[in-house]
Structure 1
């Protein structure tokens, strides 16, 4: 196995995937959300960087080709698992997450069955957009958790009426509750929209992969 710099970046991204979940075991929220989001964003950036450097430096290896999709899928699956686990289990979040997780498991199993033949089924540009949209959606959803919990922390001890008056502007907002509330609403809605777009792209690319693999599945 050749441990080039791009391969090391890919391996670090793979190791960062379980750390996203571990953050919620050792840190309280919203600090866990913030650390997990920062870790996820940094790891996501290496997804572009390692591939770019491998091609630019002529260091494309079998190890890197194998690790890259595994690292991407591990990051997405674990991050979505954490987000859904700490959410209100809204169907608007659970349904697109289910589509994404099902596709990733299905395609991984299909690739394993096809063996060396899977290497001939090239990754499309739409699949790359799918991965990018997934990662942006997850980062935004992590930020929603940060806004939500700071809003709760800063309004601690206030009754619902007082919070409502602050948010409506009837009472001066000395703590910045309105900013946190707007951030929570906008990031939550934007994250869900992006996640549904990612789910649609995930479904389309999964179907495309199955159609291309179908000739190799005939007896």
Structure 2
């Protein structure tokens, strides 16, 4: 095995995946959401960086080719698990999350079954867009948790009329409650749209891989 810098970055991304769950064991919310978001964003950026460096420095290796898709899937699967478990929108996220998880398991199973012929299931441009959309959606949903809980913390104990007047602009907003409320609303709607788009792309790419694998599944 060759431990180049791109391979080290990929391995660190793989290790970062379970650390996202650990954040929710070590810290209360919304701090757990904040640290998970930071860890997820930094790890996601290495997905581009390790590939770029491997191609630029001509350090593409079998180890990197094996670890890279595993790290991506681990990041997405664990982050989705945490979000569905802790989000106030769990019921709205359950179906797209299930579609994404099912596809990842299904395609991994196809590749394992095909063995030496798995090269027929090369990553397509649409699949790369799928992964990018998944990661952006997850980052936005982590941000939604931050806005939601900070808004809840600062508005705790306020009577309904006062809170309504602050949000409507009738009363000066010294704590930034309006910004928190708007941020929560934007990330909620944006996160939902992105995760459903990611689920759609995930479904389409899964069908594409199955179509390509069909000739090798015939008796």
**Residue 131 (structure 1) aligns with:** 131
**Residue 58 (structure 2) aligns with:** 58
Structure 1: gaps (5+ residues): none
- State TM-score, norm by structure 1: 0.97
Matches for 1:175-186 after TM superposition, within 5 Å = 175-186=175-186
**Residue 118 (structure 1) aligns with:** 118
**How far apart in 1 are the matches of 2:160 and 2:99?**
37
Root-mean-square deviation (Å) = 1.0
- State TM-score, norm by structure 2: 0.97
Residue 117 of structure 2 aligns to a residue in which SS? helix
Structure 2: gaps (5+ residues): none
Residue 122 of structure 2 aligns to a residue in which SS? coil
**How far apart in 1 are the matches of 2:120 and 2:56?**
22
**Residue 92 (structure 1) aligns with:** 92
Give the paired residue count: 219
User: How far is the alpha carbon of 1:109 from its aligned partner?
Assistant: 1.1
User: How far is the alpha carbon of 1:166 from its aligned partner?
Assistant: 1.2
User: How far is the alpha carbon of 1:89 from its aligned partner?
Assistant: 4.8
User: Does residue 82 of structure 2 align to residue 74 of structure 1?
Assistant: no
The worse-fitting range, judged by mean Cα deviation, of 84-93 and 130-139 is 84-93
User: How far is the alpha carbon of 1:25 from its aligned partner?
Assistant: 0.4
**Residue 7 (structure 1) aligns with:** 7
User: How far is the alpha carbon of 1:90 from its aligned partner?
Assistant: 4.1
**How far apart in 2 are the matches of 1:200 and 1:13?**
25
Residue 59 of structure 1 aligns to a residue in which SS? coil
**How far apart in 2 are the matches of 1:206 and 1:91?**
23
**How far apart in 1 are the matches of 2:17 and 2:160?**
38
**Residue 107 (structure 2) aligns with:** 107
